[in-house]
Structure formats: structure tokens, C-alpha cells
């Protein structure tokens, strides 16, 4: 557990620079899960790394699926976090053989459902009673028509919007979580949403500020 804590602190300092806050929060959740397992099943808060065996991760895996009833994809992620820690221990020379290298499990991802054209049109034409509800509706629609995630939407400003020589409007930026560049041709409805909120808050030059 000391090794886990050692990784969390420098990770936290890199939030917003190299790392995403959501990833850090996920690691904290993994840490708390492992600590709870140690306390409830091993009656301990730490264990000597050299004493770890494959049976440990097998017990942890079954405990998460059975006792905690966690989703298979969540369990898969936490198993991989534990494996990652052991690779770090190997690099530091604390262990010679990775104790969990031969343990394998596969995630079971649920098939994602998508909005139909009819459902999307229904959302477009609905008129919520309150201003905040209308802003949330518009924010959702903007994400639908651009493919941006919520965290990417929060980060864009008018500087991300460009017009080409043919009059086309483009949204350009980098994904917050991965840093990968994106270029999105804005459809008329997305442009309309941007203009709808332009200038609604003089303190922040952001097309999505009123969505929050």
C-alpha cells in the first residue's frame, strides 16, 4: 500500500498538466478498494511485496466480483492497476518475478445504445421550463453534434473556433484526457448554439460558460 501511495502523490501534482483529474480519482478509488480488501479479507493494511503470490490477485478478483458485486469492466481496471504497481516494483528492483503476470481476466463491455434521429429531434424541439435546464439541453446537443466529451466541452473557448477560406467553421483543440488533437467541422446547429451563448458572460470568453 505504501507503493500505491507513493504513486498517487506525484500523479496528483500533474493534474491539469500531464494527467486528467478523472484518472487520478479512478486511482484513488482503486486504492480504497484494495485497502478495504486488505482489511476485510487479510486483516491487514499492508503486505510485504515479496510475499505476494498469484492467489492474492485471484482472491481480490473474486472478492470484487462476488462480495462487492462490481461491474466486470471495473474489476478489470482495478486488476490492471495492481499489475501496474507490480511492474513498478520490478523496475525498482524490489521483486524479481512479477507475481501476477500470468493472471488474466477480460472486460465485458456493454453494448452502447445510440439516439435515433427521432429521439434527437425530440430533444431539439423540447422546451424546458427553466434556463438551467435549457442550457443543459443545449450542452448535450452540442456534444451530440461535435463528438466532444463533457470535459473537452468545458475547455473550449472562442479561440478554438476557426473559419476556412470557403466559409466553413471548424472546432480545433486537444482532448483533455489524452492530449490528442481533434478537428471537427461544425454543423449549422452547433454554430447556432455557440452564437446563442456568445457574450452571455463577459468575465469568461467561453462558448459553453452558460451551460454550467
159 is written with which cell numbers? Answer: 479561440
Nearest-angstrom CA–CA distance, 208 and 193: 9
Mean pLDDT of the chain: 85
The reported pLDDT for the residue numbered 46 is: 85
Q: What is the pLDDT of residue 208?
A: 54
- pLDDT above 90 (res 157): no
Tally DSSP H helices, then E strands, for the chain: 8, 3
Residue 106, SS3 per DSSP: coil
Q: Write the pLDDT tens digit of every residue in 15-68.
A: 877 777 888 888 999 999 999 999 998 888 888 888 889 999 999 999 999 999
Longest dimension (CA), the chain: 68
Distance CA(192)–CA(196), nearest Å, equals 6
Rounded Cα gap, residues 162 and 164, in angstroms = 7
Q: What domains are defined for the chain?
A: 2-91 (1.10.150), 117-211 (no CATH)
pLDDT(140) > 90 = yes
Amino acid at each position: 500500500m505504501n507503493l500505491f501511495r507513493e504513486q498517487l502523490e506525484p500523479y496528483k501534482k500533474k493534474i491539469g498538466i500531464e494527467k486528467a483529474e478523472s484518472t487520478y480519482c479512478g486511482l484513488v478509488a482503486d486504492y480504497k478498494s484494495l485497502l478495504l480488501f486488505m482489511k476485510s479479507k487479510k486483516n491487514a493494511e499492508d503486505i510485504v511485496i515479496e510475499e505476494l503470490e498469484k492467489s492474492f490477485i485471484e482472491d481480490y478478483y473474486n472478492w470484487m466480483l462476488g462480495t462487492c458485486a462490481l461491474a466486470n469492466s471495473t474489476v478489470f481496471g482495478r486488476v490492471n492497476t495492481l499489475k501496474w504497481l507490480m511492474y513498478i516494483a520490478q523496475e525498482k528492483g524490489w521483486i524479481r518475478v512479477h507475481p501476477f503476470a500470468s493472471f488474466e481476466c477480460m472486460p465485458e463491455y456493454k453494448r452502447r445504445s445510440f439516439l435515433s434521429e427521432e429521439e434527437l429531434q425530440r430533444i431539439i424541439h423540447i422546451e424546458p421550463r427553466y434556463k438551467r435546464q435549457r442550457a443543459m439541453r443545449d450542452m448535450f446537443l452540442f456534444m451530440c453534434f461535435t463528438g466532444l466529451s463533457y470535459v473537452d466541452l468545458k475547455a473550449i473557448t472562442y479561440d478554438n473556433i476557426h473559419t476556412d477560406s470557403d466559409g466553413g467553421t471548424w472546432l480545433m483543440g486537444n482532448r483533455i484526457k489524452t492530449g490528442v488533437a481533434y478537428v471537427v467541422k461544425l454543423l449549422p446547429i452547433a454554430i447556432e448554439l455557440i452564437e446563442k451563448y456568445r457574450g452571455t458572460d463577459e468575465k469568461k470568453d467561453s462558448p459553453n460558460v452558460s451551460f454550467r
